[in-house]
Amino acid sequence: MPAKVRFHFEPCLRILLATLSAFLLTRWSSIAVLALPWSPEQSVVTGMQLGFVVFAATVIWVFVASSLRNACLGLLPPTLLLIYFSHGAGL
């Protein structure tokens, strides 16, 4: 019964993907803000305030995407961007 299995399996995978990607993106974004041209204190505090928005937006994106594959594809650009900038900050 592939249809039935998929029905239970997909939401679980989405929840897993949402939690994991939201956590990682929040983490990277909070470090990537250090690349902003302000004092580190200002960047850190900005990053903390924005972090919750990043988290919520990521979770919702994973559930909005029409398939798991699309969800992953959509997550790719911000992930690469944030990793790039966190390295710029000396990750």
Partner 1 sequence: MIAPLGARIRQRMAQLHRWTGLLLGWLLFVIFLTGTLSFFRQELSLWMQPERPFIADPVPSKAAFEHAYQYLRQQAPEASHWSVTLPDARDPLLALSWRGPEGRGQVLLNPLDGRRVEARDTRGGDFFYRFHFQLHYIPVLLARYLVGIAAMMMLIALITGVITHKKILKDFFTFRGGKGQRSWLDAHNGFSVLALPFHLMITYTGLVTLMMLYIPWGMEKAFPEQEQRQHLVTDVFAFLPAEPRSGEQAAMLPWEQLLAKSEVYWQGAQVGRIQVANPGDRNAKAVLEANSDQSDILGISGHPPFMVFDAVSGELLREKVLAPAYDSYGILLGLHLGRFADWPGRWLYVLLGTAGCCMLATGLLLWTSKRRKKPGHSRAGLWIVDRLNLTTLAGFPLAVVAMFWLNRLLPLELPGRANWEIHGLFLVWLAMFLHALLRPLKRGWYEQWMLAGILLLGLPVLNLLTTDRGFPDSLLSGDWLFVGFDVVLVALAALMFRFARQKRES
Q: Given the rule CB under 8 A, which residues bind partner 1?
A: 11, 14, 26-27, 30-31, 33-34, 38-49, 51-53, 55-56, 59-60, 63-64, 66, 89-91
49 or 80: CB nearest partner 1? 49
* Spatial CA neighbour of 83 closest among 25, 22, 17: 25
Q: Minimum CB separation from partner 1 for residue 49, in Å?
A: 6
Nearest distance from C-beta of residue 36 to partner 1, angstroms: 10
Phi, psi of 37 (to 5 degrees): -80, 35
Query: Which three-class secondary structure state does DSSP give residue 74?
Result: helix
What residue type is assigned to position 26 of the chain? T
